[in-house]
Amino acid sequence: MHNDVKEVLFSAEELEKRVRELGKQITAEYQGKELLVIGVLKGANVFLADLIRHIELPLEIDFIAAASYGSSTESSGVVRLLKDLDYPIENRHVLLVEDLIDTGLTLHYLAENLKARQPASFQICTLLDKPERRKVSMEVDYKGFDIPDEFIVGYGIDFNQKYRNLSYIATLKPEVYA
Ligand code: PRP
């Protein structure tokens, strides 16, 4: 275990199992369709890479990046696009993949932006959700786990851009981010 880690919330094995289940569920629900899986950079990158390998359907991937102004731990609510998609999504079956929904502001902005481009369908898959922190209500179609309002890292999720490479999801020792 990494020296800065306080507690492991989800081990690599637990993540693998849940991601496999989500992949199966998505495979079943999109039978006969071709999917466009859109990852929200950078956090969702690791989750997306594992998830698509459990989706047994023809699919393509694309990426979008957004950021909200504010400190590293508190979103201001003003979201801006850092990187747009490479291709149009009109008439495509879009599945937007996030690592974490916190206030919901990033996802709300991205969902409105993408739905305006008239995809054939639009659904959201998040690995983690902190429902207690929500500032704007967001409906999620596929979810890995609900988590309490704790600061977490690993499996793509960072603190100051570090710890994304941990194979598990963990809380950090308070002295690390104090
Ligand atoms: C995280 C996460 C979501 C967003 C959720 O990304 O990946 O995109 O915050 O927060 P919200 O629900 O309060 O809007 P972050 O901005 O940390 O960027 P990163 O994915 O590049 O780490």
**Which of 106, 107, 153 gets mutated to test ligand 1 (max ligand atoms within 8 A of its CB)?**
106
Residue 114 neighbours by CB distance under 10 Å: 18
pLDDT averaged over every residue in the chain: 94
pLDDT value of residue 177:
83
The predicted pLDDT at position 74 comes to 63
Range in 2-16, 20-34, 59-73 the model is least confident about: 59-73
**Residues constituting the chain:** 178
**65 CA: nearest ligand 1 atom:** 21
- Rounded distance, CA 90 to CA 34, Å? 13
Q: Which of 4, 86, 102, 129 is catalytic?
A: 102
Of 42, 38, 63, 34, which is closest to residue 162 (Cα–Cα)?
Answer: 42
* Protein residues whose CB sits closer than 6 Å to any atom of ligand 1: 40-43, 67-68, 75, 98-107, 158
pLDDT at 76: 66
Whether this prediction's pTM lies above 0.85 is answered by: yes
Residues forming a β-bridge with 169: 10
Ligand 1 atom 14: the closest Cα is on which residue? 106
Contact 118, 91 (CB under 8 A): yes
Residues ≥6 apart with Cβ < 8 Å to 168: 8, 9, 10, 11, 12, 15, 154, 155
Provide the β-strand partners of residue 100. 128
Tokens of 126: 């998040």
Q: Label residue 131 left, alpha or beta by phi (over 0 means left) and psi (-120 to 50 means alpha).
A: alpha
102 is catalytic: yes
Q: Over the stretch 37-50, which tens digit does the pLDDT of each residue have?
A: 999 999 999 999 99
Rounded mean pLDDT, 156-177: 95
Would you place residue 78 in the very low, low, confident or very high pLDDT band (cuts 50, 70, 90)? confident
Q: Which domains does the chain have, with CATH numbers?
A: 14-147 (3.40.50.2020)
Distance between CA 17 and CA 54 in Å, rounded? 10
Closest alpha carbon to 54 in 157, 128, 142, 138: 142
